[in-house]
Structure 1
Amino acid sequence: MKGGRLKTVVCGTTFGQFHLAALAASPDEFEIAGVLAAGSRRSADCAARHGVPLYTDVEQLPEDVDLACVVLRSGVLGGAGTELALRLLSRGVNVVQESPVHHDDLVACLREARRHEVDYRVGDHYVHLPAVRRFIDAAHHVLDGQPAVYVDAACASQVAFPLLHILGESIGSLRPWHIRAAPAEPEAPFTVLTGQFGAVPLTLRVHNQVDPDDPDNHLHLLHRVTLGTDSGGLTLADTHGPVSWSPRLHIPESVKNRFDFDAPGTEHLAEPSTLVLEAASSSDYRHVLRDQWPLAIRDDLRTARSAVLGESCAGRPHQYQLTLARMWQDLTKELGYPSLRPHQRYRRLPASELAAATAQDAPSSAPAPGVAAPAVTQTSPLREVETGELARLARDAAERRVGDLDAQLVRDFVRQLDDAVLASMITALQHAGTLRDTERTYTEEEVLQTAGVVPQHHGLIRRWLKQLAQRSVIARDGEGFRGAPSRTEADVRRAWETAAESWCQGLGPDAFITYLRDNADRLPHLMTGGQQAALLLFPQGQTHLADSVYRDPVTARYLNTAVAATVSSLAAGRTTDRPLRVLEVGGGTGATTEAVIDALTGSHGTEPAVDYLFTDVSHFFVAAAKERFAAQRWIRHGLYDVDQDPAAQGLRSGSADVVVAAGVLNNAQHTDTSVRSLVRLLTPGGLLLITEPTREHLEILASQAFMMTAAEDARRRADTTFLSRQQWLDVLAGAGAESVETLPHEEHPLAPLGQRLLIARFR
């Protein structure tokens, strides 16, 4: 650092390009020391454009780097930003990290910064934009002498954190704070929330939709805020302006009684009904992105520079950032993950064209009609094929799909994965302050309370304790549990690396193990409700990770192929001209649907004689499926909740020949009731195809179980997450199954992985 000029490296080159432009705008304060990125062509070009080195690992950085701008998604959004920030801080580098950052990650980074005597802060350029600064300054003037009576705000979910920052700067306080989402229409683009911000009543509308292929585009707005007072409303129409003042309408008695607009007391009526608080601006988006954003980032980085140099006025205290992080987590928890709107298109409408347009009705256009639902009939097109024969055909197709498997490798992997998950479970509990003392006995309630487990996860963590005791990680002592020796981070890391090495020898993609490890790393936050499990499976509302998890592992390939082969065999063997009617419940990411489509279109062309109804309880998945399978006109889409009566959801008895339930019934409250409801939908001789885990999967207990519904059936009585194979056979027999086949068989190499297909025929 020479003359206060900080040698700065930028990490990430998507939004990082704006940071590079910001640094280049202040050569007397910052020296661009390099770009740290994955090494893509874009990153190489970006580094070359600024004439600086491209680094691909923290260890390659020069020793004299003063500041790093970490412009990557943080861990809570499924990115590597927080991990990278911690590595940089450990090297003694000051860090500015792009928001949002999880509260606990923020705490960890602040601790690491203190340990190495460097500065860490969360960056936010939005509060430095000209229009936002004008709004904040005006708000301070308006609120000097009168309180705010309401805040009416709107934003896109991607920029919710900066909105909270803008409101905090404008109102001057953050608490008291609470927020709650109102019920929403299924396809509504905005979620409405109400609550309180800094003691001011708040109404907030959030655009909670995202294009998974282009999540940073297609936002309907960034920020819009109106701050209401007894005098009027101050409005930030957009993040980039304008800022306007609208006096509160007050009609004097002289006007109400005599229609006299010139009497004393009417002077305020001469003020504009809306006054723009700056001169007309020609700031187009080219100017906003090329000039305003880099300058706003520069102003933000100057705050960090002041802190590094030990100067005064170095920005808001860390407690302010910690509170904002908590508030953002509260908000995102209420919002849930966004609805997917893939394949969005940008249509340009020039302002000049709009201004010149004459008032005329736009031509109406109705969407193409969907595939009509077939009439309900009790006549089945299914030929009399033994369930065993269907199972044989399904097995043969699945065996071809997965190829030869090493049974010993599978057994080793299951043991290694269980060891890794158990190590992460006990480590998470011990880090939370419980089960540390091997000479003490801890009650269940003490463990739950000390670890800060939220009530909805109490049952799950009790199952953890049961499994930890059964696997001898901890010991039972009467009604309690003895503490256990601590595991080092290196021990836990080696356990996961061992399991990953076996898994990647043909059992599945590394993305699956990475997903499980990410969940394991965030178990303390999952237990306390600070981390939503859905955001780890659907980072930024995208489904690419979930697609891989449900499609690519060896068990998924086997089971999806087996289901698809069964449906294809039934379609090929129809005894009537009527299409085969297939109902899929809990379709989710469409991994099973995709396999069925491939099997049907590969054998019968693009229009098989099948009427396929894809359903899920979530609009999120149904909307995505409509887009993904739009070319298959024979697929219809709808909502279905396995916990509710089918008739109340528009499905009639005898309306399906085949029901596919792939990995959904483990989330039903009462499996017996849900299965009987599905059986009522079948025609005589119809089949129910179920894929489910049939043993306790520790890796699911440490990941997806945080999203699952509490059971009210045999699982609750046995305190398990999943039904065993025998329990499934009992459920199906109780629902009237004539015959049931399961795949794979108990001696199959895949059997230790504990996933099964059950093919049940009903009379």
Structure 2
Amino acid sequence: MSAVPLKVLVCGSTFGQFWLAALQRYPQRFQVVGLLASGGARSRDCAQRYHLPLYTDVASLPENIDLACVVLRATVMGGAGSDLAQQLMAKGIHVIQEQPVHHDEVVANLRCAREHAVQYRVGNLYPHLPAVQQFIQSAHRLLRRQKPQFIDAACASQVAFPLITLLAEALGAPRPWQFQTQAPLSEAPFQQVQGLMGGIPLTLNIHNEVDPQDPDNHFQLLQQITLGFPAGRLSLIDTHGPVMWFPRLHIPEAVKRDRDFSSPQSAHLMEETSAIIGEVTQASWRTTLAEQWPEAISQDLLALAESIQSADAPRWSPQSLLTQCQMWQALTKALGYPRLNPDQQFQPLARTLLPATVGLDRTITQQWDFTQRAERLVSDITAHQVTDFVSRMDEACLNAMLFSLQQGGVLCHPEQGHDLPQILQQLQVAEAHHTLIGRWLLLLADAGLVIQRGAHYFSRRTIRYDELHHSWQAVHAVWDNRLGSATFIDYLWHNAEKLGELMRGEQQAALLLFPEGRNDVADAVYRHTITARYLNTLIADWLLQRLSQHTAPLNVLEIGAGTGATTERVRELLQEKYGETPPIHWLFSDVSRFFLVNAQQRYGYLGWLSTALIDIDRPLTEQGVAAASQDLLVMAGVLNNAHNSEQTIRWLAEVLQPGGVMLITEPTREHLEILTSQAFMMPPPQDDRQRSEQRFLSPEQWQDLLQRAGLICEACLPDAGHVLAPLGQRLFIARRPDHA
């Protein structure tokens, strides 16, 4: 195969940007040499962003283009994609065109390709997505054993062509097929189609409506497919997974008659009522669009490149594509035109509104023997005690928020509303805290303490001081010194009493955490709570396990070491096993010289520990830390203080050796007690948290962020079913890939 990359032209700057991202993934195979588009602002911006020349007509194109990606609507969809494809092929350029394309257009394009001795393909990313591949492979395995009894599927009409493709590939042979629509209910967004595919009874539910101002959005779903077999159902729950198997319930006679579950006829009852097939991935939409879709697009590009450059490439037959085009046309004809639903508005809801998933990762702590000592710390703590504390703490913090607002003269009367700017002005909120107070209002609205009507907020009740005081007494009673020191609750209550001054910037939050420069309050917050003791013990024991597996000393960098809560627990357990000379080089770092001076005074006698001033909002390689120099990075509650957590993680990853590990502890729920205390010291985020209006990311969001930064998240502890899980603190163990 030729080592020279194909010179590629991308036509279209809307979905064409996904194709540009796909081509960039394989620079050894493709060199993008231009963008052909209308010349509007969007295409100019796109060309500038990708550093490409922008062409507005075929006549102006250079002569050295090998391949064109036509990412414009085909004629059947009201565009000029097929006309452009034929013009490009007439210039001797191979073409791949984005689906869907009418059968007659495909025939004409294939004829044009033969006439000009070039190749023509239709691109379709959906069959190459990981979950779809898993579904197709699973369907093939089942089809070798049983014939499907029914097909139940659903999609949006805009992605009906890919659904036809997925079904055709899963079944292998789509003929005979037919479609017949049922009379739609008035104003119903879904339209039902009955028919056959591969001779199997088929029911399709099609979301057949479109917003004419925004036709590429407002889908109710992409694709869902269920194949029903005599033994059960195989389901692609969504285009991006998961794939699940649901064994069919069959109660044998021995169970119906005698409740005999031990008979040979009852063996199938041992199978789970449902099972996820293959690897479970829970990527965000951001990762899906930025990573999975371009990679899926690239598979068609790579196949075409191989066909262009190698005489030994497998021959491609268009017959299957032509059949799918005919099926899609028959389906769209049966459906008719979509119902127009203009001026739709997108209103996202946070995943955190739903109950936490229990059980998916319940076994992870059993896979890591370093958790045993930490688990003993929680052996006498009950789930009820933890959930009761969280409930009472949230209630006390919400009361404190509303009380402080009402003390400032806003939200005092149910009939008098205020918008955020009015509230900020009335309360004289310092500019640094505007975002925080906006978050308070949303939380109060979610809790039902205030009502939001448009941009204005109205109070539903008045919080009295005695009621506020009583709610904090209830928190003290539940805390009961078993979950931590009473000093921790006193600190939070003291902050709650000072919220007005904190909002105005008249009270420094740091002076409440370090009164008169003392560390006793900070130690109660960062060292003595049950979550701090549990997570710091996990970190220390993980490190001991790692040391036992290596002969050379480990280089460890602790970022944002602060009061030394994590350092102290590590020191205790290292001294237990190694005495004063453990095989480790530990760099204690922070952005504050105050903490470094304290660490030097406390740990100056330790030959294996040194200190450094490091700012997480700057590249570490510019602060004296060499690239790929560290075996381990330790960060306890640090990354939420970064302006941009993802960028910071990328900078941190640069100083990790390939195969090196980050141990990260972070809050993973909306901690109201932090939003009424330490949040006044935290800079406003400039990353996903700003856009989502969340102050803290969920475990799934943290894992996705780590993945985006190029790391492999190997564990998230404690798991969702753990007694401490409601407290919302997690340890993430993330590894830099060996090949990085």
TM-score by length of 1: 0.48
TM-score by length of 2: 0.50
Structure with higher RCO (Cα < 8 A, 6+ apart): 1
